[in-house]
Amino acid sequence: MIAPSILSADFANLAAEADAVRGSDWLHVDVMDAHFVPNLTLGLPVVQSLLGATDIPIDCHLMIEDPARWAPPYAEAGAHNVTFHAEATDDPTAVARDIRAAGAKAGLSIKPGTALDPYLDILSSFDTLLVMSVEPGFGGQSFIPDVLDKVRTLRRRIDTDGLRILVEIDGGINADTIEQAAEAGVDCFVAGSAVYGADDPAGAVSALRAQAARARG
């Protein structure tokens, strides 16, 4: 699955930018609050408008403080996935329960320096585990290959225990990096600059998907 990140799109033309990646599996929306990360992007009103402007399922990546308070409204609005950061809460399973109760899939995200181990025994509380492959906050950064060890561990645990959870990777995914991520066991690839920086964004999505599928085998 490929999820273009609109962080690299033209924010004045979001409906057209969503249309430019029709055929994508999810549309990834980076919500940043200038507290959890040193950048500010958009919030619930823009997500509500986007939901009315596209049929592509919206994948919200909340890089915000206090997800217990702010995450459920994105689910109530109709987002397909609502993913929050493990580093932003002491009770990730409670946040996930509220997101699911509000009608969305629940995702947990971990920064490159955050260990996976504390979360391995609570994976069933989530529908998606998003492994960050750059420091959250900005698009266009270089992929950090060390995080693939966490992807491999996650893949093994999911397959061994028969869990129904998708592994998503976010940051620096492009034609040079997607194959190693696919081989490690990623299911869903977020790509911002590699898609919206291309002359043909929808073509870039198809090419990345085909490349990942070949590498996954």
Ligand X SMILES: O=C(CO)[C@@H](O)[C@H](O)COP(=O)(O)O
Q: Is 206 annotated as a binding residue?
A: no
Q: Which of 14, 18, 28, 64 binds ligand X (CB under 6 A)?
A: 28
Q: Is 19 labeled as catalytic in the residue annotation?
A: no
Shortest spacing between CB 161 and ligand X, in angstroms: 28
Would you count residue 85 as binding Fe ion (CB under 5 A)? no
| CA-to-CA dists, residue 68 to 80, 84, 128, 177, angstroms | 18, 9, 17, 33
Q: Name the one range near ligand X by CB under 6 A: 68-76, 92-100, 155-163, 192-200.
A: 192-200
Residue 59 binds which entry of ligand X, Fe ion, none, CB below 5-8 Å type-dependent: none
Question: Contact region for ligand X (CB under 6 A) — 44-52, 80-88, 116-124, 169-177?
Answer: 169-177
- Give the span between the Cα atoms of 90 and 88, in whole angstroms: 7
136 closest CA partner among 164, 167, 161, 110: 110
| Amino acid in the structure at residue 209 | R
| Contact by Cβ (8 Å): 73, 104 | no
Binding site for Fe ion (CB under 5 A): 30, 61, 170
